Structure 1
Amino acid sequence: MSTSDSDSDLDSPGLALAVLEWLEDREEGPEDVDACLELLADRRRRLLLEVMRTYGEELTLPDAAEEVAVRESGRKVTELSAERVANVYISLYHDHMPRLVEAGLIEYDQERDLVHPLECR
């Protein structure tokens, strides 16, 4: 992440040092920190969490996938191909969402295809 990609004044090394400094005051063990960083390492997972926090309510997975695709591309939803949104949906469904569910960050109702942020419940 470079300064031009962020509203922050931190560059990648600065951000890494700031996170390490923050972690010094925490009581989590190294395994927990590693698991958290691994979970957040993927941009698509971070975007899904961001979408869920922004809306603060349940969303259909197709709607969440569409919003993730918008944020990934920086384009309007009308400018996205159905194939791009479908690819995001598939990767969320098969890879990213199960990891976030297992971590306890979101819930998923497969029967209704709804994603719930934990704050919504």
Structure 2
Amino acid sequence: MTATSHSESDCVEFALTILDTLDTCETTATTVDEVFRLLAEQRRRLLVDVMRTFGEPITLPDAAEEVAVRETGKPVSSISAERVHEVYISLYHDHLPRLVDSGLLEYDQERDMVFPAALRDLTF
């Protein structure tokens, strides 16, 4: 028998918690697969977390800064403008459209504002 690392143990516990939760949900396997695909990318999860934290509309540039802060663990003043711009571009072209299509977020391109959409009904 091999020793299980703390990280592996956390992963197993989290997976079992998710499976227990799925047992109590009334949803299709297709929906579960779609949600796992949607949240598979860390940057998408971070953007959703940013929107849950703020709980109100914010500009996409501000959201990109917050995502960069959470990715790096550094204060925004220590993150290069290029890094924040790279996060913004990936959110704008890839991650945000997927989250908007799913109904989790809304986006006003004219004002460059992201809205929590479905997240606004959650308790923060």
Instruction: Give the structure-1-normalised TM-score.
Output: 0.89
What amino acid sits opposite 1:97 in the alignment?
L
What amino acid sits opposite 1:14 in the alignment?
E
Change (3 A) 1:3 1:42: farther
What amino acid sits opposite 2:20 in the alignment?
E
SS in 2 for 1:11: helix
- Work out whether 1:12 is the aligned partner of 2:11: yes
Give 1:37's aligned residue: 36
- Shift in Å at residue 3 of structure 1? 5.1
SS in 2 for 1:41: coil
Structure 1 CA distance for aligned equivalents of residues 18 and 52 of structure 2: 21
Give 2:47's aligned residue: 48
Measured on the aligned residues, the alpha-carbon RMSD in Å equals 1.5
Give 1:81's aligned residue: 80
Change (3 A) 1:14 1:83: same
What amino acid sits opposite 1:102 in the alignment?
D
What amino acid sits opposite 1:96 in the alignment?
H
- Work out whether 1:67 is the aligned partner of 2:79: no
Structure 2 CA distance for aligned equivalents of residues 69 and 15 of structure 1: 25
Q: Stretches of 4+ moved more than 2 A in 1? A: none
Instruction: Give the structure-2-normalised TM-score.
Output: 0.87
Structure 1 CA distance for aligned equivalents of residues 91 and 74 of structure 2: 19
What amino acid sits opposite 2:14 in the alignment?
L
Q: Which has the larger radius of gyration?
A: 2
Q: Please, which runs of 5 or more residues in structure 1 have no aligned partner?
A: 5-9
Give 1:91's aligned residue: 90
- Shift in Å at residue 40 of structure 1? 0.9
Structure 1 CA distance for aligned equivalents of residues 52 and 81 of structure 2: 24
Deviations 1:9-61 (A, max 9, x none): x6112211111111011110000000011111111001001101111111110
Q: Please, which runs of 5 or more residues in structure 2 have no aligned partner?
A: none
What amino acid sits opposite 2:33 in the alignment?
D
Change (3 A) 1:41 1:3: farther
Matched length: 114
